[in-house]
Amino acid sequence: MREKCGVVGISLHDRAAARPLYYALYALQHRGQESAGIVTHDGFQQHEHVEMGLVGDVFDEGAIENLHGPQGIGHVRYPTAGGVTECCAQPFSVSFKSGSLGLAHNGNLVNTDEVRDELAGKGHAFTSDGDTEVIAHDLARNLLDAGIVSAVKRTMGRIHGSYSLTIMHGERVLGVRDPQGNRPLVLGELDDGYVLASESAAIDTLGGKLVRDVRPGELVILEPDGAGWESFQLVDAPQTAHCFFEHVYFARPDSILDGALVYEIRRELGRALWTESGVETDVVMPVPDSGRSFASGYAEAAGDAGARTEFAEGLMKNRYVGRTFIMPSQDEREQAVRLKLNPIRSTIEGRTVTLIDDSIVRGTTSGKLIELLREAGAEEIHVRIGSPPIIAPCYMGIDMKTREELIAADRDVEEICEEIGADSLAYLSIEAITEALRHTADDLCLGCVTGRYPYDIEGEQRDRDISRPKLEPPEHSAD
Ligand code: SF4
CB 111 within 8 A of CB 159: yes
**pLDDT for the residue numbered 324:** 43
Whether 5 sits among the annotated catalytic residues: the reply is: yes
Q: What phi, psi does 317 have (nearest 5°)?
A: -100, 135
**pLDDT for the residue numbered 80:** 53
> Mean pLDDT over residues 152-163, rounded?
96
> Mean pLDDT over residues 430-448, rounded?
96
Residues contacting ligand 1 via CB (< 6 Å): 182, 243-245, 394, 396, 398, 445-448
Distance of CA 444 from the midpoint of ligand 1 (Å): 9
Distance of CA 191 from the midpoint of ligand 1 (Å): 35
**pLDDT for the residue numbered 44:** 92
**How much of the chain exceeds pLDDT 90, in percent?**
79
**pLDDT for the residue numbered 322:** 58
Chain segment 48-93, per-residue pLDDT in tens: 999 999 999 999 999 999 999 999 999 999 865 335 566 678 999 8
Residue 262 clears pLDDT 80, i.e. is over it: yes
| Cα distance between residue 16 and residue 10, in whole Å | 10
Distance of CA 333 from the midpoint of ligand 1 (Å): 24
Q: What phi, psi does 432 have (nearest 5°)?
A: -65, -35
> Mean pLDDT over residues 201-220, rounded?
98
Chain segment 335-392, per-residue pLDDT in tens: 777 788 899 999 999 999 999 999 999 898 899 999 999 999 999 999 999 999 999 9
Residue nearest to atom 8 of ligand 1 (CA): 243
**pLDDT for the residue numbered 106:** 94
More confident residue, 186 or 90: 186
Question: Band of the pLDDT at 320, cuts 50, 70, 90?
Answer: confident
- Model pTM? 0.92
> Mean pLDDT over residues 1-30, rounded?
93
**pLDDT for the residue numbered 129:** 81
CB 314 within 8 A of CB 295: no
> Mean pLDDT over residues 427-454, rounded?
96
> Mean pLDDT over residues 103-117, rounded?
94
Considering 5, 88, 243, 417, which one is annotated as catalytic?
5
> Mean pLDDT over residues 299-316, rounded?
94
CA torsion 414→419→422→425, rounded to 10°? -30
| Cα distance between residue 475 and residue 63, in whole Å | 42
Write out the H or E segment, with its range, that includes residue 131: helix 131-142
Residue type, 162: S
**pLDDT for the residue numbered 64:** 97
Residue 478 clears pLDDT 80, i.e. is over it: no
> Mean pLDDT over residues 12-39, rounded?
96
Quick one: DSSP state of residue 454? S
> What is the DSSP secondary-structure string of 296-326?
HHHHHHHHHTT---EE---EEE-TTSPPGGG
Write out the H or E segment, with its range, that includes residue 194: strand 193-197
> Mean pLDDT over residues 117-128, rounded?
90
By DSSP bridging, strand 209-213 and strand 186-190 are antiparallel
Residue nearest to atom 4 of ligand 1 (CA): 394
Query: What ligand 1 atom has the least distance to the C-alpha of 244?
Result: 7
Mean pLDDT of the chain: 91
Distance of CA 398 from the midpoint of ligand 1 (Å): 7
